[in-house]
Chains A and B, each alone.
Chain A
Amino acid sequence: DTGVSQDPRHKITKRGQNVTFRCDPISEHNRLYWYRQTLGQGPEFLTYFQNEAQLEKSRLLSDRFSAERPKGSFSTLEIQRTEQGDSAMYLCASSLEQDGKETQYFGPGTRLLVL
């Protein structure tokens, strides 16, 4: 399977704990995006990387959130001191920007439940 993969697919944690999610993009893709989606809503942009550089961060990404893409390949999203409001589906997408054209390919998501 050469699509975008995310791990874990599901995570249940207690309030106050730290969690880390991983995204493996399509191998030749230079851009990687993180989104958050709650029930009945569209995905909300969190941040994105061009290779290893983090180029944009949403105001939704509080100080408790951090994302990395150390070698320009896989990425991690960490949430520190989780709150119940962090419960959501966290989606990763990757793309290859060429000649001004870009299509995003999404992973299956990580569903987080904070108790």
Chain B
Amino acid sequence: KQEVTQIPAALSVPEGENLVLNCSFTDSAIYNLQWFRQDPGKGLTSLLLIQSSQREQTSGRLNASLDKSSGRSTLYIAASQPGDSATYLCAVRRDDKIIFGKGTRLHILP
């Protein structure tokens, strides 16, 4: 059974710092991995999608990496801003099932 774990559950960092969010999964036979952002009481916004054959994806200040063999992905956020405060979720897809982690609540201190 696929399990997705995100550590830490919560993180507070001063504005301007670079930071890394972690995601691990137990079954490496995944189709892809997706990182999402969720603001309180809202739906999810897709940030980056990494296919199983890819190692990383970049969008602006965000960089996501994927190491399938070790069952890990990281989301790197450069030069953090208060507007980055949100919950960040990773989700892995195998066949038709998508399994989410519980997320990391990120708070950027002004």
Contacts and interface: CB of A to CB of B under 8 A. Distances in A.
Interface in A17-39: 33
Nearest to B49: A103
Label chain B's interface by main secondary structure. Answer: strand
B102 A42 contact: yes
A91 B49 CA distance: 19
Contacts of A48: 96
Contacts of B46: 103-106
B8 to A, nearest CB: 14
Contacts of B103: 42
A108 B101 contact: no
B99 interface: yes
Scoring B44, B93, B99, B101 by chain A CB atoms within 10 A of each residue's CB, the highest score goes to B44
A41 interface: yes
Contacts of B32: 102
B55 interface: no
Interface residues of A, number: 24
Interface in B37-55: 41-46, 49, 51
A43 interface: yes
Contacts of A111: 41
Interface residues of B, number: 23
Contacts of A107: 43
A4 B91 CA distance: 19
B96 A43 contact: no
B25 interface: no
A65 interface: no
B100 A44 contact: yes
A45 B51 contact: no
A100 B34 CA distance: 14
A42 B100 contact: yes
A55 B101 contact: no
6 contacts: A42-B89, A42-B103, A43-B44, A45-B99, A102-B49, A106-B44
